[in-house]
């Protein structure tokens, strides 16, 4: 396929996207029992099917697992308390996990534990079985009924006007939430003519080539409260009234810490995506970093994977270009001014002076500039290899860092064009 840069149509318009909206649920005591029953049934079905796959060499196909589900329903009547699509969703998830193990090298699916269960289940929407009521403060869910919920007015309006695909109900840290998957129209952010390179690290979570530096957030107070209520819980008898009170306080402190961090990450990633058309990143081995016992606690605290996840999905929705440079690209060792590579740069050195040109470098800022330059080089190289001769006038190699436009397929256009050599 050939690609070209179209200067006239880079703004785009509305596009159909799949979006997830998170709402806070307030179920009654009876509804809580039904939700917990559904969660328990999901883990029960998962474990029974996994036994067949792991120890009886059953091939995990949709037909085979569906037959196993029918046998389980007849043998265990309490499974009928779950909605039919939530039961079927279990073997779909199990097939997906098994294929990921076989094709992508992920770990073999694990059994669900009562101590650490997958505290959620999903119900598929069918014939308007999931919908908001007229006042929009209750949501109708099969087998559970009308549940009170809260979210913003904009989200309520969007749910009301969009097609609902499914809802995932979670019980986490004492809070019931619903994640509604909808099909909706999305207007991408306005086009930007900037490019940025981002150095991701442990010393500083994000360093951008434009000089923006994101330090680790101060969550000292929130972490102190979480540890305090953990100690309070440990001093009380599990299941007692005082234990439940301490547990609720612990959950509240933990949720406050998580929400504060996620709020900051969303603001930062939105700012980066809004102001840059091309975002160059490193290819990181975060899983390998966790093997270092000195780095692991801080990595868990700053959640680098969450930053990358938000950058990628927001870029995709807003027609931004994400490009990742090679894992072994020497971004920190290379001088962004003259290209000299300083092989003896140590991990503890935050600053260094290039012996070739005398340029003084901030380690992370220099790395981010090199990542940006390498990302733009890869883009230019890719365009030059794929665009046709007559499209070369639209490519501004010298100014691609300041003006990068959206790619558009020209497969159909190429068939009708004459060769430049004819």
Q: How big is the CA angle at 242 (ends 241 and 243), to the nearest 5 degrees? A: 90
Provide the pLDDT for residue 68: 94
Query: What burial class does residue 373 get, using C-beta atoms within 10 Å of its C-beta: 0-12 exposed, 13-18 middle, 19+ buried?
Result: buried
Provide the pLDDT for residue 113: 84
pTM: 0.78
Segment 359-369, tens digit of pLDDT: 888 888 999 99
Provide the pLDDT for residue 114: 75
Provide the pLDDT for residue 297: 85
In this structure, the dihedral spanned by the alpha carbons of residues 151, 154, 157 and 159, taken in order and rounded to 10 degrees, is: -60
Provide the pLDDT for residue 118: 66
Provide the pLDDT for residue 12: 53
Provide the pLDDT for residue 379: 87
Segment 106-160, tens digit of pLDDT: 889 999 887 766 689 999 999 889 999 877 789 999 999 999 999 998 999 899 9
Provide the pLDDT for residue 385: 61
Provide the pLDDT for residue 384: 61
Low-confidence stretches of the chain (pLDDT < 70) are 1-13, 116-118, 383-422
Show the domains of the chain with their CATH numbers: 22-186 (no CATH), 188-215+259-422 (3.30.420)
């Amino acid at each position: 396929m050939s690609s070209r840069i179209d200067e006239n149509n880079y703004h785009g318009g509305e596009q159909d996207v799949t979006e997830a909206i998170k709402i806070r649920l307030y179920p009654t005591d009876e509804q809580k029992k039904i939700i917990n029953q559904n969660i328990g049934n999901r883990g029960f079905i998962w474990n029974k099917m996994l036994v067949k796959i792991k120890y009886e060499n059953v091939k995990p196909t949709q037909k085979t697992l569906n037959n196993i589900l029918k046998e389980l329903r007849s043998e265990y009547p309490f499974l009928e308390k779950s909605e039919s699509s939530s039961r079927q969703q279990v073997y779909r998830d199990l097939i997906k996990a098994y294929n990921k193990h076989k094709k992508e090298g992920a770990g073999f699916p694990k059994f669900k534990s009562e101590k650490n269960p997958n505290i959620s289940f999903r119900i598929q929407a069918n014939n308007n079985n999931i919908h908001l009521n007229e006042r929009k403060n209750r949501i109708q869910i099969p087998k559970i009924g009308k549940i009170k919920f809260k979210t913003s007015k904009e989200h309520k309006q969007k749910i009301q006007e969009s097609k609902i695909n499914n809802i995932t109900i979670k019980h986490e840290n004492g809070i019931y939430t619903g994640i509604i998957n909808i099909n909706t129209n999305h207007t991408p952010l306005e086009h930007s003519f900037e490019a940025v390179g981002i150095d991701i690290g442990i010393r500083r979570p994000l360093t951008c080539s434009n000089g923006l530096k994101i330090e680790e957030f101060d969550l000292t107070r929130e972490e102190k409260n979480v540890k305090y209520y953990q100690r309070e819980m440990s001093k009380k008898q599990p299941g007692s009234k005082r234990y439940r009170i301490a547990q609720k306080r612990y959950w509240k402190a933990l949720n406050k810490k998580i929400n504060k961090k996620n709020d900051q990450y969303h603001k930062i990633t939105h700012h980066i995506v809004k102001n840059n058309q091309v975002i160059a990143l490193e290819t990181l081995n975060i899983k390998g970093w966790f093997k270092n016992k000195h780095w692991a606690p801080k990595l868990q605290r700053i959640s680098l994977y969450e930053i990358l996840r938000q950058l990628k999905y927001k870029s995709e929705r807003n027609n931004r270009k994400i490009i990742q440079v090679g894992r072994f690209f020497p971004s920190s060792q290379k001088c962004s001014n003259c290209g000299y590579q300083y092989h003896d740069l140590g991990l503890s050195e935050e600053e260094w002076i290039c012996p070739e040109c005398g340029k003084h470098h901030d380690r992370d800022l220099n790395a981010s500039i090199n990542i940006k330059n390498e990302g733009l080089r890869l883009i230019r190289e890719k365009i030059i290899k794929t665009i046709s001769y007559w499209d070369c006038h639209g490519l501004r190699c010298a100014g691609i860092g300041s003006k990068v436009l959206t790619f558009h397929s020209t497969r159909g256009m190429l068939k009708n064009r004459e060769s430049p050599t004819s």
